Amino acid sequence: MPLPAARTPLAELAPSIALGALDGRYRGAVAPLVDHLSEAALNRARLHVEVEWLLHLVEHDVVPGAPGLSAQEQEALRALVVDFDADSIGELKVIEAETVHDVKAIEYFLRGRLTDLLTGAGAGGEGGDGSEGGDGSAEGTSRAEALGQLIHFACTSEDINNTSYALMVQGAVQEVWLPRARALVDQLSAMARELADVPLLAHTHGQPATPTTMGKELAVLAHRLTRQLRRIEQCAYLGKLNGATGTYGAHVEAVPGADWQQISRSFVEHLGLGWNPLTTQIESHDWQAELYADVARFNRILHNLATDVWAYISMGYFAQVRGQGTVGSSTMPHKVNPIRFENAEANLEVSNALLDVLASTLVTSRLQRDLTDSSMQRNIGTALGHSLLALDNVGRGLSGLDAVPEAMAADLDRNWEVLAEPVQSVMRALAARGVEGMSNPYERLKELTRGRRIGQAELVDFVRGLGLPAEEEERLVALTPATYVGLAPEIVEHLGQP
């Protein structure tokens, strides 16, 4: 029967219940991103940009005759960003209900705080200009009114938003995502080095193939992930501040004598961003598309890692034993399911779906502006959140693994036919040197091995009957699937190198 119609409305319960998994079940793993990519973080970043723009204009005397701000007053304005809290969020919500415009709400919020600061309203002691605070002096009021005109001066909302998002994404990637990703790659690299000499039966197309080592195969994945991390680390976070259509039109008319391009550049670089000199109303978001494509590629390689390790677990090459106090199956007591890797797969796929649509959508804007990017960018936190959750799961999954060399050795010993490759390769080399009796090596080994299993005895008999030079014969007779790993252990040493 269906759910009862008259049931408790969960949406009305307090505290509120999360709609999405990231803010519900998986909140603990992704919580650090809230400080960078939540709606509250966006408003804090906007406030930061508005404060710094006001201070930049004042410090460089961009508008001749405008009042100045003391060091103490500048510190107090910057403290608004540092102390941005639940009360600030609540106040902004009230203002935005009136403005129905989020950036304008920030402007009004800052203007109110500036007025309080310069007139002493709501605070004891001296005002920032040295007059007695709290008395609403005419001078303080006059300064507040004049300086209030420099808040959001000559700006379009996108001047504030693009720099805010650049700062937010920069912080999220550099302070949260990258450290987690580096830690995972370091963990994987340590496993690769530890297992560098452990022989493994390779599988190509799902079939037994040339032996390798477990360490070398993990090192391949670690090396691939490292290359993507280097690309992500080199991301250029760009910003612009040039007005409604990128022409500095309002700026030039308001203060014709100012070097507005230099002012814009110095401001954007002061924020810790790269300056984009040529834009429409919006910063073009190309750097974002590049970043999200690189993160998505990292995710796809990580997905490859998850599926490969899952396969190795299913083959018995890894045992899930460490820290496994959890229930594997609700009905089969013997099972320990590789859920960390399966969870990672799912979250990487969700992350990539969002990263792909972000990268493809953000690079396009109709003529000089549309608002598609405004809604789209609000999903950045979700995209990186699912990637972060996958990193957490893969890391915990790897921590719970123990290699089982005996299982790998048993598989190698069941597949002596993989030595057909070195035998025919030696025969080819000898034939090239003019040694007789080495003709058709590939075909002869194919006849011996294709479609059937052979053991050590059969291979040795075959090698003894080839008429090889004594040294070559003894070397091949001594070869086993477990020792036929080439330079695999040495190759692992390339980890960490460019």
DSSP 325-389: -S-S-SS-TT----HHHHHHHHHHHHHHHHHHHHHHHHT--STT--SHHHHHGGGHHHHHHHHHH
Q: How far apart are CA 440 and CA 445, in angstroms?
A: 9
- The CA distance from 16 to 27, in Å, is 14
Q: State how beta strands 318-320 and 207-208 pair.
A: unpaired
Residue of 97, 106, 113, 89 whose CA lies nearest to 163: 106
Which run of H or E residues covers position 92?
helix 86-99
Choose, from 205, 330, 334, 439, the residue flagged as catalytic: 205
d(Cα 468, Cα 220) in Å, to the nearest integer?
36
Whole-angstrom distance, CA of residue 193 vs CA of residue 216? 8
Residue ranges in 100-177 assigned as alpha helix (H)? 102-119, 138-148, 157-171
Q: Please tell me the distance from the alpha carbon of residue 354 to that of residue 486, in angstroms, as a whole number.
A: 42
Residues 6+ apart with CB under 8 A from 386: 22, 347, 348, 350, 351, 354
CA of residue 46 relative to chain centroid, distance: 23
φ, ψ dihedrals at 258, nearest 5°: -80, 150
Which amino acid, 38? S
Torsion angles phi and psi, residue 433, rounded to 5: -90, 0
**Marked catalytic residue, from 16, 266, 314, 329:** 329
d(CA 60, CA 38): 33
Decide if 329 is catalytic: yes
d(CA 321, CA 343): 18
Burial class (CB in 10 A: 0-12, 13-18, 19+), 26: buried
Please indicate whether residue 375 is annotated as part of the active site. no
CA distance 267 to 367: 26
Can you give the length of the chain in residues? 498
SS3 call for 475? helix
Classified as helix, coil or strand, 403 is strand
Active site amino acids: 205, 329
